[in-house]
Structure 1
Amino acid sequence: MTWDLSFITEEDFTKHVQDTIEKYGDKLKSFDVQRFNKNIIDPVKLIFDKTVYQADWKETISNEIFRQRDKSNNNDIGYFHQRIFQYIDKCHVPDNGTEGGWDVIYKNPEGIILPDGSCVHTVYVEMKNKHNTMNSSAAGKTFIKMQNQLLKDDDCACFLVEAIAKKSQNIKWETTVDGQRVGHKLIRRVSIDKFYELVTGQEDAFFKLCMVLPTVIQKVVDNNGNNLVPHDTVYDELRLAASNVEDKDMIMEIAIFMLGFSTYNGFSKLAKQ
């Protein structure tokens, strides 16, 4: 693979992908029945899902395991989007909770030109994975934080950078604070491609990063061998647990019901068999 990213080295990018995968931590561990049912599965939902989506039990259980793993993965991907800027020139990623709690700080002594022609020398960034992850209260608090930063530093702008924005944009951010619609030209809502363009000077920088990402992730996974490949045993354990069920067509259904209903009337008798 020819390395086509001038704003980050292949070595640094590979290390960052490796660090992001390591953040998955416990989510890479294999699932057995005990872990699968840690928060008690809803058997009725699983049976509806399996039947309505015309899936088999292996697929249904695999999907549920994926859902459980996926619930906490957004923070790990947030780490990827934020921490990569530590490798990009003129960007700084503060430790969590320090330096005002900003996710990224971009300083350019030559000046940073905004779409309306304004010129500042520092951009303070609050980064979000997706455009709809803040409720109105959180949005209001973030806007006030940015207002306060402008009061302390009149040579800066503040960006709300969204990895998954509604569209590519770098616009004045308008939101509601205490029931009033507010906005400021130096407080901006920016899609991540536009932020990459600003800090690298390359219009398609984020596109190029995305184009090499699958290959680098695969390389990191391959280099780690089976250490990153979970070996889930839930399906086999459930079949074994219900192997004494007389109606062989109901083996998996009974096993799923027992995950949530083993102490309920009727089901408790099956549990004792």
Structure 2
Amino acid sequence: MKNKYLSYISDKHLLSCIENLHNSYLRAKADISKKKFYKNKIDVIKLTFDSRFNDLDEKTLIKAEISRQIDKSINNSIGTFHEEILGGIKNYEMGTLSGFDIKAKNDTLFADIKNKHNTMNSSSAESLFQKLARYADTYKQANCYWVQILSTKSFNEHWVSIINGKEYSHSRVFKISGDQFYQMLTGEKTALLDLYMVLPKAIDAFLKSNKKSKIPENSALTEISVGAKKSQRTILDEITFENYSYYLGFDKIK
């Protein structure tokens, strides 16, 4: 039976990948409590500038910060989405807590997938190169790739770089853009474009068959607002006090 969406993975697999990402959205947007909102310390200095320079009232400001936290979580899930798509291509598979994201079943290819080209610092880049080099040394027939799904150009080249003052190169360690990696695994030049083009239709089909999921409201803003009312602080001052009351003088915020 001919696939409805893409030639290189089944319709069932594509819809399953979309469902997994949808669930990630639901989890990220699920009831964000004050405790969860405060998990990473809030940059109240930045929020102060945001409120003044962007002319935002406090509630709009906090909603924007909640959205930013949600978006950060979703960005990680988008990378997983690509791993799942690529792992559904014939002769390839995903890694699960195994040190690689994608491999050829015959051990001739190993890859680490990054959704964006600029998500690593120098220490992370050094660690990744060393890991890929170890795979290349262990599997003598394997080419190993740092895959940048969204990059600044289309390329497939040896990864040669000076990282933390050390020169790194290996005959079978490469870096590659998302379009060329999709082409390599599928044999189809426009494989990534094809995925992009079918997504609206496939997502609509998934949502149509999955009407039961509803995203609960966030409680963080309500909890903070209640606390601010009791303490007679502004919402921003309440956040500052609750995050930094142990800083010198901050316990006196009124």
Provide the rounded CA distance (Å) in 1 between the counterparts of 2:197 and 2:95.
28
Provide the rounded CA distance (Å) in 2 between the counterparts of 1:23 and 1:243.
34
Report the residue type matching 1:230 in the other structure. Answer: P
Q: Structure 1 residues 184, 225: CA separation in 2 closer, same or farther (over 3 Å shift)?
A: same
Provide the rounded CA distance (Å) in 2 between the counterparts of 1:107 and 1:176.
32
1:1-273 alignment, distance < 5 Å: 3-24=4-25, 26-33=27-34, 35-39=36-40, 41-97=42-98, 101-106=99-104, 122-176=108-162, 179-221=165-207, 223-225=209-211, 227-235=213-221, 254-261=234-241, 264-265=251-252, 267=254
TM-score where L is the length of structure 1 = 0.74
Q: Structure 1 residues 47, 202: CA separation in 2 closer, same or farther (over 3 Å shift)?
A: same
C-alpha contact (below 8 Å) 1:196/1:205 kept by paired residues: yes
Report the residue type matching 1:94 in the other structure. Answer: G
Provide the rounded CA distance (Å) in 2 between the counterparts of 1:222 and 1:44.
43
Provide the rounded CA distance (Å) in 2 between the counterparts of 1:244 and 1:134.
43
Aligned length: 245
Q: CA deviation at 1:149?
A: 3.1
Report the residue type matching 2:67 in the other structure. Answer: F
Greater Rg by CA:
1
Q: CA deviation digits over 1:206-246, x for unaligned, max 9?
A: 0110122244334444544463423235555656665689x
C-alpha contact (below 8 Å) 1:136/1:176 kept by paired residues: no
Instruction: In structure 1, list runs of 5 or more residues that go unmatched.
Output: 109-120, 246-250, 268-273
C-alpha contact (below 8 Å) 1:27/1:69 kept by paired residues: yes
Report the residue type matching 2:30 in the other structure. Answer: K
Aligned-partner SS, 1:8: coil
Q: CA deviation at 1:104?
A: 1.0
Q: CA deviation at 1:154?
A: 3.1
Q: CA deviation at 1:200?
A: 1.1
C-alpha contact (below 8 Å) 2:29/2:218 kept by paired residues: no
Aligned-partner SS, 1:71: helix
Report the residue type matching 1:63 in the other structure. Answer: A
